[in-house]
Amino acid sequence: MKNIIVGTAGHIDHGKTTLIKALTGRNTDRWEEEQRRGITIDLGFTYFDLPGGDRVGIIDVPGHERFINNMVAGVVGMDLVLLVVAADEGIMPQTKEHVDILSLLGIEKSIIVLNKCDLVDEEWIELVEEEVKEELQGTFLAQAPVVRVSAATGEGLEALIGAIEKMTGDEVVEKDIRTIPRLPVDRAFTLSGFGTIITGTLVSGTISKEDTLQMYPVGKECKIRSIQVHGQDKEECYAGQRVAVNLSNVKKKEIKRGCVLAPKNSMKNTDLLDVKLQMLDSSVRILTNHMRLHFFTGTSEVLCRAVLLDQEEMGPGESGYVQLRLEEEVAVRRGDKFVVRFYSPMETIGGGVVLEPNPRVKRRFQEDVIEELTRKESGSTADVIEMHVKGHGDTLITLAELAKLTALSPDEVQEDIDILKEQGLVDVFSMRKETFVWHADSRNAARQTLEKTLKAYEEKYPYRYGMKKAEVQATHFRKIKPNVFDKILEMLIEAGYLKRVDEFLCTPEYKVKKDGTYDKVSGILLDSFAKAKYDFVRYSELDLKGVDKAVADDILNILLEERQVVKVTDDMYTLRDYMEHATEVIRAKLSEDPLITIAQVRDLFETSRKSAKPILEYMDSIKVTKKMGAESERIAYE
């Protein structure tokens, strides 16, 4: 079964509500004031069944100029619009304004309903029909069928139902039920015994009762008590349906028309939007930079200022890139349509499509800005994702964050990332909880930075293994998480761009300089340590024969790194062989006797108490011994 929404449009009093009542038997003017004044003020909702069995949701809109904001909120989700024109009046100002709004919001299917035919004669109807067709040339209604009816007498209604059935029978725009669900709220109210209920047209995706959703832009998490579609309880609802959702965890006063119900963390609120804006041919206003406007999208209405990015000003029929700075936050998606109205008096002057729902503040007349927006206008979602990845080269970006920025489902993002990976445009790093993505340009730039940095370092410190990984990160990749940085290094090492020795990084060909100076210093150190044996010498007291202390430090570090030398304690070093021998001796002693003292160590190694103490401390550090009560006593570690 198809899910179809039929909407009305047209000038005040042309008979929209009467027509809906004639079709459905229900009066959608619910309010006392509406009934008393005989006009529609707010949106009306009902449904009826087509002869073929499809149940059609209906949205009736007000025609009065003052309630255009309500009318705009009703358009989202409409598949087919009945443009009602009273035959005795013909096309009137709000007929035109509604047509403009419908066309800016991307409505494609429509039937022109010539109503009140009972009030005029045949000849007159012919004339009006001709005039209407002429006036609608060049709009999306140019090819729309015209049906003559009288909502008062019921004449022509069968033909109208036939026309609706035919038009919705040829495919209505296919709804995307694979992507995230989005439900722009058009009503929020409380029912005693139920709590908070919202209604709206589900514009995409599927919602089921188990889902935990979030109310945007308020940020409130909502659980679902029940779902109704056309008055019937359902476990699930689908894109294209009019739905009522009973929510727990959120109060009516926290929600208003314009909020959007969608999955948790699936969208990001914004008060900035990059858009392509099209001025209406009929606009009597010229849009100038920084002009204040009313912005309508989905069911929301927000004030904003328009920053014209590529033009000084925009006249009727012109289009361009604009950054809208909103006075309140909204949550939207690339591709969402919108309408803008002049601040005062309120007149519809244009509209268009959202290109970037989460932009940075942009300056005017920047070539790269125009280039970016041109790509976002015509590109695929993969193109847009690539641009986001590129924009986060210094931190990398997670798949979850990409999904949120683009309001796409995780699966959709994954598909695009797979494409980009295949094209060699991104690298993907899967961590335990998150997956990070990096642009190939960022990777190449990082590679060059690393090469330059390490080369310079190797030249400056030829007696070091390379630059410490932590230092490389702190200087050049501060914003990348350490565990992600490790993955990046792994990749670059595997690709042969880098070498890693323990915690040191160097260029692949690099080797420590083992020249005359190296031999001289390592000779002094090894000889001194050998000679001193267990009567350790202090490194700082050695005669380095004129070699710079800093160079000697580096060479000592190399000996440590190569495990020729070990550090016993601060400033005390010795040959590894000595300490290995000492370990064996102490283990042997402990296997005979559970306790060993500093005095015993001193005697075993024929040394002083000053050196015996560090030996035991060293044994503690490598878990051969452990302290047991007295400062001078040790037992075996295990």
CB 98 to ligand GTP: min, Å? 10
Nearer to ligand GTP among residue 67 and residue 534 (C-beta): 67
> Dihedral angle at the C-alpha atoms of 156, 157, 163, 167, nearest 10 degrees?
150
Q: Residue 88 CB, nearest distance to ligand GTP (Å)? A: 8
Give residues with Cβ within 8 angstroms of 587, minimum separation 6.
624, 636
Q: State in angstroms the smallest separation of the CB of 39 from ligand GTP.
A: 3
**Burial grade of 423 (CB within 10 A; 0-12, 13-18, 19 or more):** exposed
**H, E, C per residue of 361-385:** CCCCCCHHHHHHHHHHHHCCHHHHH
CA distance 315 to 584: 91
Closer to Mg ion at the Cβ: 16 or 634? 16
Closer Cβ to ligand GTP, 91 or 636, answer by number: 91
Backbone φ, ψ for residue 341 (5° rounding): -125, 150
Per the listing, tokens 């040191």 go with 504
Distances (CA, A) of 72 to 146, 246, 326, 599, 600: 23, 25, 18, 93, 93
The one among 14, 16, 268, 392 contacting Mg ion by CB under 5 A: 16
Q: What is the binding site for ligand GTP (CB under 6 A)?
A: 10, 12-18, 38-40, 62-64, 115-116, 118-119, 150-152
Measured from the CB atom, the residue of 16 and 376 that comes closer to Mg ion is: 16
Q: How far is the CB of 146 from ligand GTP (least distance, A)?
A: 15
On the question of a cis peptide bond just before residue 482, with omega within 30 degrees of 0, the verdict is no
Burial class (CB in 10 A: 0-12, 13-18, 19+), 66: exposed
By the rule CB under 5 A, 115 interacts with Mg ion: no
Interaction between residue 94 and Mg ion (CB under 5 A): no
Strands (E), 283-441: 287-288, 291-297, 300-308, 313-314, 319-330, 337-342, 348-356, 397-398, 426-430, 435-439
Q: Name residues whose C-beta falls within 8 Å of residue 448's C-beta, 6 or more positions apart in sequence.
A: none
Site for Mg ion in 300-319 (CB under 5 A): none
Nearer to ligand GTP, 14 or 175 (CB): 14
Which is nearest to 109 in space by CA: 84, 142, 67, 71? 142
Residue 12 contact among ligand GTP, Mg ion, none, beta carbon within 5 to 8 Å by kind: ligand GTP
Residue 266 CA: distances (Å) to CA of 11, 296, 404, 544: 38, 21, 5, 65
Measured from the CB atom, the residue of 74 and 77 that comes closer to Mg ion is 74
User: The tokens 């927006």 sit on which residue?
Assistant: 373
Closest approach of ligand GTP to the CB of residue 9, in Å: 9
Nearest-approach distance from CB 102 to ligand GTP, in angstroms: 15
Dist. CA 333–CA 404, nearest whole Å: 10
* Closer to ligand GTP by Cβ: residue 61 or 105: 61
Q: How far is the CB of 39 from Mg ion (least distance, A)?
A: 6
Give the nearest distance from C-beta 60 to Mg ion in angstroms: 6
8 Å CB contact between 523 and 601: no
| Among ligand GTP, Mg ion, none, residue 72 binds (CB under 5-8 Å by kind) | none
CB closer to Mg ion out of 75 and 239: 75
Selection from Mg ion, ligand GTP, none that 565 binds (CB < 5 to 8 A by kind) is none
242 binds, among Mg ion, ligand GTP, none (CB under 5 to 8 A by kind): none
When asked if residue 17 is in the footprint of Mg ion (CB under 5 A), the reply is: yes
Cβ closer to Mg ion: 31 or 637? 31
CB of 130 to Mg ion, least distance (A): 26
Instruction: From the list Mg ion, ligand GTP, none, pick the one residue 629 interacts with, judged by a Cβ distance below 5 to 8 Å according to partner type.
Output: none
Binds 115: which of ligand GTP, Mg ion, none (CB < 5-8 Å by kind): ligand GTP
Are 517 and 478 in contact, with CB atoms under 8 Å apart? Answer: no
271 binds, among ligand GTP, Mg ion, none (CB under 5 to 8 A by kind): none
Beta bridge partners of 627: 634
| Pair of tokens at residue 244 | 């009522």
552 three-state secondary structure: helix
Size of the site for Mg ion (CB under 5 A): 3
Backbone angles phi, psi at 265, to 5 degrees: 55, 25
Least distance CB 61 / Mg ion (angstroms): 8
DSSP annotation of 255 = -
Using CB under 5 A as the binding rule, whether residue 214 contacts Mg ion is answered as: no
The one of Mg ion, ligand GTP, none whose footprint includes residue 64, by CB under 5 to 8 A per kind, is ligand GTP
Binding map of Mg ion across residues 21-50, x = CB under 5 A, - = no contact: -------------------x----------
Residue nearest to ligand GTP (CB): 63
Q: For ligand GTP, which is the closer residue by CB, 187 or 481?
A: 187
The CB-of-118 to ligand GTP minimum distance in angstroms stands at 5
Q: Which of Mg ion, ligand GTP, none does 15 bind, CB closer than 5 to 8 A by kind? A: ligand GTP
Instruction: Report the chain's terminal Cα–Cα distance, integer Å.
Output: 74
Residues that bind Mg ion (CB under 5 A): 16-17, 40
